[in-house]
Amino acid sequence: MNSTRLLYQAAGQPPVPAVIDASGWMQLSKRKRPTAPPGGKCYLCGGEVEGAGVPTAERFGETWTAHGDALQPDAEWLCAACAFSLSEAATHPAKPNPFKMRTMTHLVIGSQWELLGLSDKRRMAEVLLSPPRADPWLLCIQDAPLSAGHAIYRTPVNAAGATAWRVTLGGSVIAGSPTHLAAVLTPIEALYLAEHSKTAIRTGVYTPKWILAQGENDWARLEASIVPLRGQPIFELALFLAQKGTDDE
């Protein structure tokens, strides 16, 4: 099962306003009407449209720049699950007002769908350090909500019980495992707790004041452990997740 369908099922397959069936297709003007009623393969995920969908040309206009991501670029229909994942006015029991799907972090474990924000990094790290064992799952992390692009459809689904995982951070796929992440996250959090900024940790350019405050030997040991990983995707994920005593942004 792909990511949009796992999410859509966990959400309870809610109605998507733009989705139409064969009768809705007949009511479209000939200029906007796809050549056949809803069916065939989904433009974005490549799955079956199953009798109801959104005309591809209707959903993807000039502002859509990710046509290269489409698994069926010639398809005239987008499935309901993909349309839901691209919603600009979705709803969730934990969020009272409609929201843009692309601005939130989405955690789906089997039939459970959680919405997470920048203050929920502990929850994100918890899942990555101890992955779900009983259900397939996905984690689509949005690190910049104000400039967010759609990323759910790019997010891999991890098999139940698998220790190695793949998630997305800002739309980029990152592969890792609990052991690999812990090996990077532990020293990064120790440096962050010692008042080094995330910019300093990312660049390796530290403020001498904080090195002396921490102790040069302790700082040098931690810095040496992350030097080989600096710039790698797992390093960026760990740096994003790093927290002090309480959740912060």
Q: What is the pLDDT along the chain (249 residues), one digit of tens a residue?
A: 899 999 999 999 999 989 999 999 999 888 888 999 999 999 999 999 999 999 998 888 666 767 888 999 999 999 999 999 999 999 999 888 999 999 999 999 999 999 999 999 999 999 999 999 999 999 999 999 888 889 999 999 999 999 899 999 999 999 999 999 999 999 999 999 999 999 999 999 999 999 999 999 999 999 999 999 999 999 999 999 999 865 555
Work out the number of other CB atoms within 10 angstroms of the CB of residue 9.
Answer: 15
Strands 95-99 and 105-109: unpaired
pLDDT of residue 63: 67
Dist CA 198 CA 222 (whole Å): 14
pLDDT of residue 246: 57
Dist CA 105 CA 120 (whole Å): 9
Asked whether the beta carbons of 16 and 54 are under 8 A apart, the reply is: yes
HSE-up of residue 151 (Cα within 13 Å, Cβ side): 26
What are 8-53's pLDDT values in tens digits? Answer: 999 999 999 899 999 999 998 888 889 999 999 999 999 999 999 9
Strands 105-109 and 137-141: antiparallel
Residue 45 to residues 40, 73, 76, 77, Cα–Cα distance (Å): 12, 10, 13, 11
* 128 closest CA partner among 88, 168, 85, 187: 168
Dist CA 245 CA 179 (whole Å): 22
pLDDT of residue 59: 85
pLDDT of residue 58: 85
pLDDT of residue 109: 98
The pTM of this model reads 0.92
Token pair recorded at residue 119:
């203050």
Dist CA 137 CA 158 (whole Å): 5
What distance, in Å, lies between the first and last C-alpha atoms of the chain?
A: 32
